[in-house]
Amino acid sequence: MQKIDQDDFLELSKQINNPFSREIIQRNINPIYGEGTFNWRDFGNGVASSSFSYNLKDDYNICLSSNIPGAVIIYNLADTIEYIFKNKDKARLEKNSFFIGLASDDFYAEMSLKKKSLYKVVTIGIKEELFLELAKNLENLDEKINLAHKNGHYLIKGAYIDSFQYDILSYLSDEIVDDNILSSLKLESISLSLGHYTINKLIQNKYAQNTTIKDEKIRSLEKAKEIIIKDYASSLTIKEIAYKSAINECYLKKDFKIYYGMTVYEMLQHQRLKVAKELLNDSISVKEVAMAVGYKHTGHFSKLFLNKYKVSPSLYRKQN
């Protein structure tokens, strides 16, 4: 595969310098290689985020390098990416998965991308000094840092993206680059929350084991999620979702939890309450909102809403 340095692969489109060393850079893929965008935000506090969406004309190895030691959380929202490191180690990042990588001041890797594939990735980068503080309770952290310094890199762990992360990532991956300082501060807050959540959950070992799930099962799981997102207001059952998704009920229950970090029922509740929160901003009653999202009893809906958002739906409605 043809090797291309990332600086040659991308062309500068826009650069914005905001107060307090905040920098925004937008780049486009050089048209000879394909189409897509790369957005980079340095928040000036030891944390940076980036997102890219690529569609390529041919197979390429994009060469990446850095002289800043630290950690990067890479969230993959589309086709599988393979990384090849300086010592020839390889790592695959599957769709809807993430891993945390540590890098030395002499980091080098190649990102293998293929034509006719869609690549969509969000990253959170954290300088080493800050990461050591944020992840100080992570098991054997000093040993992992030393290995990164010795080998140029170290991969900590991988897991599937859970629903909370996916909601945030959907926003970050579709960001619009502008010079509004409030937009930048909002993205900074969201990125920091996502990084902190991921690291903290990793420390607490709350991620399901990142067992490889076959592509045909993944398609069925994603179909199941589509059904939940679309038909959340109806009386969905596991049996019905499994039938419409062309997957065995047992596999649906087991693999859905691994892939999305929550059960089918938990995602259904998540979607209903998310829509309910949006509806409560309109001038309709709590009872009407409960019925609209699939709850027959207002009291049950109110209890679930309070547990999730720490405020009753009636009070939330008044506040908004």
The answer to the question of residue 288 being in a domain is yes
pTM (predicted TM-score)? 0.76
Q: How confident is the model at residue 3 (pLDDT cuts 50, 70, 90)?
A: very high
Question: Which residue type occupies 81?
Answer: I
Q: Based on the domain organization, do 97 and 134 belong to the same domain?
A: yes
| Residues 35 and 108 both lie in one domain | yes
Identify the residue with better confidence: 100 or 174: 100
pLDDT digits (tens, 9 = 90+) for 53-64: 999 999 999 999
3-state secondary structure at position 99: strand
Number of domains present in the structure of the chain: 2
The whole-number pLDDT of residue 211 equals 57
Residue range 110-157, pLDDT digits in tens: 999 999 899 999 999 999 999 999 999 988 999 999 999 999 999 987
Query: What are the pLDDT digits (tens) for 166-187?
Result: 888 887 877 666 677 777 788 8
Instruction: Say if CB 249 and CB 207 are below 8 A apart.
Output: no
Kindly report the CATH number assigned to the domain that includes residue 258.
Answer: 1.10.10.60
Q: Tell me which residue range forms the domain holding 304.
A: 215-319
On whether both 71 and 162 belong to a single domain, the answer is yes
Which of the four pLDDT bands, split at 50, 70 and 90, describes residue 315?
very high
Whole-angstrom distance, CA of residue 103 vs CA of residue 127: 10
Q: Does residue 208 form part of some domain?
A: no
